[in-house]
Every structure is written in C-alpha cells, then in structure tokens.
Amino acid sequence: MEENLIFLPHCLRSQDCKARLDANGYNCINCGKCEIGGFKKQAEEAGYHVFIVPGASMVKKIVKEHGSAEMIIGVACESELREGAKLTKKYKIKAKALQLLKDGCVNTEVDWQKLKAIANLK
C-alpha cells in the first residue's frame, strides 16, 4: 500500500515542548502548547503519516524507509524545501510544499489553514 507522508519542521514546536526525539523525529504528546498535535491527529485520521523532523537528513532517511510513498507534503524554510525537491525528484514521488511564513529555526510559523487545504483536510 502506498503512503502519504507529511513532514513538519521541529521549529514549529513550542519552546516548552516535551516531545522526545527518536529515529522518526519528535513524538508529539499533544500537550496543546502548539498547533502540531491537533493537525497531526487530523492528518493521521485522514490516512497520512506525520513526521516532525529536525531537517532534511532525517527526511531522507524516513523516505528511504517508506519506499512506497505516493505523495509527500513538506513544510519548511526555503533551503530545506529545495533539499526536499531534490529528494522527491530522485525517488519520483509526487510532492507538495508549503514554505514557512516565518523561519529562523525557532518560533517559526506556518499557515495552518493553507496546509490543511493542501492536505485536503477540513
């Protein structure tokens, strides 16, 4: 079965985030301190696999492990999105991207409504 993957940057997390990092990114505990938990729950209910990652190197590792990915939605700063575009081209995976409204590696922002629209979530 082919999978749809969503990659969110770890910089969207609250600075008070208690999520732990493992081989597949940060494990959101849905504490309510940021919007990731609610989005992740909604996306997973729609069949997506959601990963909260520190950067492109982890995205590459996860994509290799999920060799059956049909489509990837990536949220990131411009430089990370360029890396993601190279990766999806290499593996011939359909991709959609959304650039952060505010980047800088901490306290970043994304248009959550636009992300939900890209993922066809209500």
Query: What pLDDT shows up at residue 22?
Result: 94
Q: Please indicate, yes or no, whether the overall pTM of this predicted structure exceeds 0.95.
A: no
DSSP string, 72-105: EEEEE-HHHHHHHHHHHHHTT-EEEEEE-SB-SS
Q: How far apart are the first and last CA of the chain?
A: 24
Distance in angstroms (rounded) separating the CA atoms of residues 50 and 19: 14
The pLDDT value given to residue 112: 95
- Quote the CA–CA distance of 93 and 81 in Å, as a whole number: 14
pLDDT on residue 61: 92
Provide the pLDDT for residue 2: 64
pLDDT at 52: 97
Look at the chain and report how many structural domains it folds into. Answer: 1
Amino acid 38: pLDDT: 95
Low-confidence ranges of the chain (pLDDT < 50): 1
Supply angle C-alpha 53, 94, 11, rounded to 5: 20
Residue 21 maps to which CATH number? Answer: 3.40.50
Q: State which residues form the domain around 30.
A: 3-118
Q: What share of the chain is helix, strand, coil (3-state, %, to 5)?
A: 35, 30, 35
